[in-house]
Structure 1
Amino acid sequence: MAILVTGGAGYIGSHTVLALLERGEDVVVIDNLSNASQESLIRVAELTGKEPAICVADILDRNALKTLFAQHNITDVIHFAGLKSVSESIAKPLAYYENNVVGTMVLLDEMQRAGVHSLIFSSSATVYGNPESVPLSEASRTGGTTNPYGTSKLMVEQILRDFSVAEPHFRITCLRYFNPAGAHPSGRLGEDPNGIPNNLVPYISQVAIGKLACLTVFGDDYPTPDGTGVRDYIHVMDLAQGHLAALDHRNDGEAFKAINLGTGVGYSVLDLIKAFEKAAQTKINYRIVGRRSGDVAECWSDSSLARQQLGWQATRNLEEMMRDAWNWQKNNPGGYNA
């Protein structure tokens, strides 16, 4: 009895693998390491005293998937593998549709052939596009996505929804993340982006250690308390626990569900900077420029459905997210490959 984790060497994937191993699950990881380091899984093994089985391959590789399903008694799949940069997706849309959409279809096809009927998909709040109102609940309108990354997540959700109608014995959960942040409290696991970070917290972290000179804040004239954009940030360990909760419930007998994972609290860019400065005891150099095209003023979640149906809710606050992010960054200034 094993759980297959695609993209398990990545940021959210590695923290989820750790949480699974900690509670005694057998874990098989497939990752092509294009945006991750196998060092993360070496550290997971050190922290847990258990090693996941690792296959370095792409989910587009049918033969690799066939072999994994043949060699291991896999009962469930948690699917993180995919490209995730909004800006890169605009420049390389075909790569995003191939990896994120076609890759999921190949995985689903091989799951069906192997008789594995439980899937948790790593979706995103980007499927809501430009919010009509906040907080965003699962009943909010989806669509109107502003980039190929978000569109790829929306397309996969629709494919999974259609598939669940045709194959009602499947149990498919789409977990819509808001903004993952933080790191494992040990300081051994964290977010290690390639090149210049796309996400706010690792960018702040790299400014704090002097790797980057200055943070650019896009807009201070939004209709928010301090004029900067407001988002829902969630600790990566809370996110990992959300996957375990979804795994345990397997939709309570329903074929398809989409569930938000967030804190239900919005924090501004300046809130994050102040919280990080407090955690790191250092000033963050930033400059304010004009708004960025496609950005919205506020985006935060109503995550009450996760509480009601999964018995899950986020327990870690912004202070803990920034403390753990800084602990990771200061101990690993060059990431995993330092």
Structure 2
Amino acid sequence: MKIVVTGGLGFIGSHTVVELQNQGFDVVAVDNLSNSSITVLDGIAKITGTKPLFENIDLRDKAVVHDFFKRHNDTVGVIHFAASKAVGESVENPLLYYENNINALVYVLQELTALPQANFIFSSSCTVYGQAETMPITEDASIQPAISPYGNTKQIGEEIITDTAKATHLNSILLRYFNPIGAHSSAIIGELPIGVPQNLVPFITQTAMGLREKLSVFGNDYPTPDGTCIRDYIHVVDLAKAHVVALQRLLTKQNAAKVETFNLGTGTGSSVLEVIQAFEKVSGQKLNYQIVARREGDITAAYANTDKANQVLGWKAETSLEEALASAWQWEQKIRS
């Protein structure tokens, strides 16, 4: 069965391609390499023994997307990762985010719904909840006004998918995940941000390697035990496996509704300072960090209630924070050696 993975050479996309190939799926990875590297393709091949078919295309080009699906009209499902994903950058450049995250989604859905089978896994985010009123966050939590353009694109994306499913034969699962970290246990693929990292863990590992002078902790005056933001950090391989489980649910028609939603996290919240301390413990490295002003677009806390994914999907995160950080450090050391 042919599965198209958009953003297939990105951080989460590449790990998901590995898990799909491990389960015997025929994968076509699509990426414009705006925040990824072609070398990831060889990494996937080294891990799985199979190099996925790869196409370097920009999904913002409607004609190119049409041509792609015309050639791959035997596609039975799409896992859609292709999107810009940094909260801070989205505040600074909102139009880039609306063009990249919304237009590409619409063009892919237009082509997918023209095919006999239209199964769609959407890479959503806990940012759709805004600052949730209660913790841990369940799928029934009210959708608050988005704090950032990035979060807004995920809210709008979910609405577009829901409306499309009502009008077509599209079946979709929206996976709202929390904070993916870590790397494959082989240290052959991992998070490879281009330029200055926008996420905490690669900034930590780059600081530990001496690539960054110091790590900035954005605010220590939040209403949390140590004053720093709290997030739910999930290992990327656990996350990738959830996408395969969700896809299989659609392909075997076990979904209970045309659009289903699941939180993907560990269920445990960790503060920025707790992550720093855990990293120092597993790496033996002392981090140079400083407290700076809050960053616009950041919420105080977000961690998941994962009961629904555990019970309905039969999926559960298995990797601890320390294990995930250790894998990220192993990966960072390998790519710098």
Q: CA deviation at 1:98?
A: 1.2
Q: Which amino acid aligns with 2:189?
A: L
Structure 2 stretches of 5 or more lacking a match? none
TM-score (norm 2): 0.95
Q: Which amino acid aligns with 1:92?
A: N
Measure the CA separation in 1 of the matches of 2:110 and 2:331.
38
Q: What's 2:185 paired with?
A: 185
Q: 301-310 or 247-256, which moves further after superposition? A: 247-256
Query: Which of residues 257, 260, 267 in structure 1 aligns to 2:260?
Result: 257
Measure the CA separation in 2 of the matches of 1:63 and 1:223.
49
Secondary structure of 1:114's counterpart equals coil
Secondary structure of 1:183's counterpart equals coil
Q: What's 2:112 paired with?
A: 111
Q: CA deviation at 1:68?
A: 3.4
Secondary structure of 2:234's counterpart equals strand
Q: CA deviation at 1:170?
A: 1.9
Secondary structure of 2:114's counterpart equals helix
Please state if 1:291 is matched with 2:279: no
Decide whether the 8 Å contact of 1:30 with 1:54 is kept in 2. Answer: yes
Please state if 1:311 is matched with 2:314: yes
Measure the CA separation in 1 of the matches of 2:70 and 2:99.
25
Please state if 1:248 is matched with 2:248: yes
Measure the CA separation in 2 of the matches of 1:158 and 1:79.
15
Q: CA deviation at 1:131?
A: 1.5
Q: CA deviation at 1:99?
A: 1.1
Decide whether the 8 Å contact of 2:113 with 2:170 is kept in 1. Answer: no
Measure the CA separation in 2 of the matches of 1:333 and 1:142.
41
Please state if 1:321 is matched with 2:324: yes
Q: CA deviation at 1:262?
A: 0.5
Q: What's 1:82 paired with?
A: 83
Q: Which amino acid aligns with 1:188?
A: I
Q: What's 1:139 paired with?
A: 140
Q: Which amino acid aligns with 1:89?
A: S
Q: CA deviation at 1:116?
A: 3.2
Query: Which of residues 282, 286, 289 in structure 1 aligns to 2:285?
Result: 282
Q: Which amino acid aligns with 1:262?
A: G
Please state if 1:55 is matched with 2:55: yes
Q: CA deviation at 1:292?
A: 3.3
Q: CA deviation at 1:217?
A: 1.2
Secondary structure of 2:141's counterpart equals coil
> Pairwise mapping of residues 1-338 of structure 1 onto structure 2 (< 5 A)?
1-72=1-72, 73-167=74-168, 169-250=169-250, 252-333=255-336
Structure 1 stretches of 5 or more lacking a match? none
Secondary structure of 1:252's counterpart equals coil
Q: CA deviation at 1:253?
A: 4.4
Q: Which amino acid aligns with 1:249?
A: R
Q: CA deviation at 1:62?
A: 3.4
Decide whether the 8 Å contact of 2:20 with 2:27 is kept in 1. Answer: yes
Secondary structure of 2:123's counterpart equals strand
Instruction: State the aligned residue count.
Output: 333
What is the percentage of aligned positions where both structures have the same residue?
46
Q: Cα deviation per residue 1:12-62 (whole Å; 9 max; x = unaligned)?
A: 000000111112111001111111111111110111101111110011233
Measure the CA separation in 1 of the matches of 2:303 and 2:256.
29
Measure the CA separation in 1 of the matches of 2:293 and 2:28.
45
Secondary structure of 1:332's counterpart equals helix
Secondary structure of 2:260's counterpart equals strand
Q: Cα deviation per residue 1:289-334 (whole Å; 9 max; x = unaligned)?
A: 3433443332111111111211111000001111100000000128
Measure the CA separation in 2 of the matches of 1:312 and 1:30.
26
Decide whether the 8 Å contact of 1:60 with 1:107 is kept in 2. Answer: no
TM-score (norm 1): 0.95
Q: 132-141 or 109-118, which moves further after superposition? A: 109-118
Measure the CA separation in 2 of the matches of 1:88 and 1:227.
24
Measure the CA separation in 1 of the matches of 2:99 and 2:30.
17
Q: Which amino acid aligns with 1:271?
A: E
Q: CA deviation at 1:166?
A: 1.4
Q: Which amino acid aligns with 2:86?
A: S
